[in-house]
Structure 1
């Protein structure tokens, strides 16, 4: 997962390792699943690659950009009634897209 994300963004192993403050050989071992990074390093990798930690670890199957994640987190703080209004609007857009894809 990390290899594909890193390459997709055009980041070398050396550059990513440098941003993490670790040796590239250590990072290579993470990519080969020889060792697991600490939660702190995993969080930093997710931040650098602009994915959630859940996505990075395979717990989530949808990759969201930082802006989307921040918006969802903000909505989750709303009162229930406000959340339901927002979900109604989202549901309407989803239904519209589904109809358009059929036509």
Structure 2
């Protein structure tokens, strides 16, 4: 978040005013992002009480990369992932 703000050459206080909060709050969000990165969690995990605790940064980055693909390639990737998920579920059921 800080990187994007700095690229736009916007001060924390100015961004805070734009969205109706303070520069201090913007600073807290930016520090939380840094902490999330250091811990290997998503920012959502930290601010939403673990609601997305199973989504680590590596998985999130891969999902973001897939999101940027054209629709056909994205569909192919999802179909491949579906095959592996189904195979894993079958393996787990068979192990019972």
User: Could you say which TM-score interval applies, normalised by the shorter chain?
Assistant: 0.5 to 0.7
1:45 aligns with 2:45: no
**1:70 Cα deviation after fit:** 1.9
Q: Mean alpha-carbon deviation: is it higher for 74-83 or for 61-70? A: 61-70
Q: Distance in 1 between matches of 2:83 and 2:55?
A: 21
Q: Which runs of 5+ in 2 are unaligned?
A: 1-24
In structure 2, the residue matched to 1:96 is 87
For residue 82 of structure 1, the aligned residue among 73, 79, 83 is 73
Equivalent pairs counted in the alignment come to: 68
Q: Which runs of 5+ in 1 are unaligned?
A: 1-35
For the 8 Å contact 2:41–2:53, the answer to whether it is kept is: no
**Match runs of 1:1-103 below 5 Å:** 38-58=28-48, 60-103=51-94
As a proportion of its length, which structure holds more helix? 2
Q: Distance in 2 between matches of 1:100 and 1:45?
A: 37
- What's the Cα RMSD here? 2.0
Q: Distance in 2 between matches of 1:79 and 1:65?
A: 24
Q: TM-score normalised to the size of structure 2?
A: 0.61
